[in-house]
Amino acid sequence: MAKTNGKMIANNKKAYHDYFILDTYEAGIVLHGTEVKSLRMGKCSIKESFIRIENGEVFIYGMHISPYEKGNIFNKDPLRVKKLMLHKAEIHKLIGKTKEKGMAIVPLKVYFKGSLVKVEIGLAKGKKLYDKRQDIAKKDQQREASRDFKIRNLG
């Protein structure tokens, strides 16, 4: 299970809206020098990214790391495929789970843990439209309740 205890770089709120997150893993990510400098400045997006397992290795597609301004010729393609580092046992477990219908692996967060860049990935099951509506209704009820509570205690 992954625990985030570092500086947050990017968060994928859309994943929590579109999927039920069943399990989370912490994975290292293979980067080049200017990409790390760009991440230190907070220039990263994982909204449209997804994860695939190919030949026993885990890769993240669509993760956008903006080019470092002072990197000139050393900058890499912002949307290049990046390798994630997981233990073999975790990879085999993910392979088994994703063979089930409706299961996917999605990136949830990108953050620094010490000097290392980590990605929190989640084993997810897709939500149906009525599940999304229920979640929105719950959030609205909680917002109303907190608003009423605040009004009652202040006035």
Angle among Cα 40, 42, 46 to the nearest 5 degrees reads 120
Buried b vs exposed e over 72-85: b needs ≥16 C-beta within 10 Å?
Answer: eeebbeeeeebebe
CA atoms within 13 A on the CB side of 72: 0
Question: Residue 8 — pLDDT band, cuts 50, 70, 90?
Answer: confident
The predicted-structure confidence for 66-120, as pLDDT tens digits, reads as follows 887 776 766 777 788 989 999 999 999 988 888 888 888 899 999 988 888 899 9
Q: pTM score, two decimals?
A: 0.75
Residue 151 has pLDDT above 80, yes or no: yes
- Tokens 């990605």 correspond to 119
Percent of the chain with pLDDT over 90: 18
Q: Please choose, from the candidates 11, 7, 17, the residue with its C-alpha nearest in 3D space to the C-alpha of residue 45.
A: 11
